[in-house]
Amino acid sequence: MPHTTSAWFFFGDSLTQGVNDALMPGGWVSRLAVLAHEAGLCPIPRATFYNLGARRHSTAKIAARWRSELDNRLIPGMVPRLVFCAGVVDMAAPGGGQPADPELAAAQMDKLLAEAAEVAPTLVISPPPVTDAAASTRIGQLGKLQQQLCARQGIAFAQVYELLANTSDYMNDLSDGLHPGSQGCDRMAQTLLAQECVRAFMCAAH
């Protein structure tokens, strides 16, 4: 019987990429993988992790690329899991211009997830807070919309916005107002693995 390898594909923007984490390339994604390994959920090796965060990628851009990036990395015997964390770019507009409407970004995610759920088990992580109050409010609104659409589609959802917004070692580590440094990335990874839906999703035996 051929060996199988569980693989986790993390799609998102620069926060997923971990651009501000000077201690661990890959930011909270790498830290979550290490914590899950240490908890015995997905031993490394054989578990494989792909960080597919890209700077300034909105929900629409992630929706346009995720399938081809997944297909280009699949190998025989690989069992994929898909993780999406999108919305900060849409709501904060770090590249300039106007923020997107939360309803529009949620509708784009809804379509994306309908396709993703047909391909592999899927987890959505709410976009985390930022220091700008107006942008953070929009992010919180989008996260609630994402939670509702995930409930409707039966997709696992991890809410981190509310938890991190009230956590000083995350908010105080947003040196540029958007991206957490090593301390914030570590806090996000811990916050995620503390949630049962994430622990179940990271378990290679399931």
Using one digit for the tens of pLDDT, what is the confidence trace for 21-64? Answer: 999 999 999 999 999 999 999 999 999 999 999 999 999 999 99
How open is the CA angle 7-9-12, to the nearest 5 degrees? 165
Neighbouring C-beta atoms of residue 70, cutoff 10 Å: 19
pTM above 0.95, yes or no: yes
Average confidence (pLDDT) over 177-182: 98
* φ and ψ at residue 50, rounded to 5 degrees: -115, 120
* β-bridge pairing 5-12 and 78-85: parallel
Tokens linked to 132: 């700008």
Residue 206: what pLDDT?
Answer: 47
| CATH (one of 2.40.50.100, 2.60.120.10, 3.40.50.1110, 2.40.50.140) for 5-201 | 3.40.50.1110
Tokens linked to 62: 């992630």
Residue 196: what pLDDT?
Answer: 98
Kind plus residue range of the DSSP H or E element containing 50: strand 48-53
Tell me the average pLDDT of the chain: 96
* φ and ψ at residue 11, rounded to 5 degrees: -105, 135
Q: Which residues on neighbouring strands pair with residue 122, listed in sequence order?
A: 82
Average confidence (pLDDT) over 180-199: 98
Residue 126 pLDDT > 60: yes
Residue 1 pLDDT > 50: no
Average confidence (pLDDT) over 3-30: 96
Tokens linked to 133: 């109050």
Residue 204: what pLDDT?
Answer: 86
Sign of the alpha-carbon dihedral angle for 124, 129, 132, 134? positive
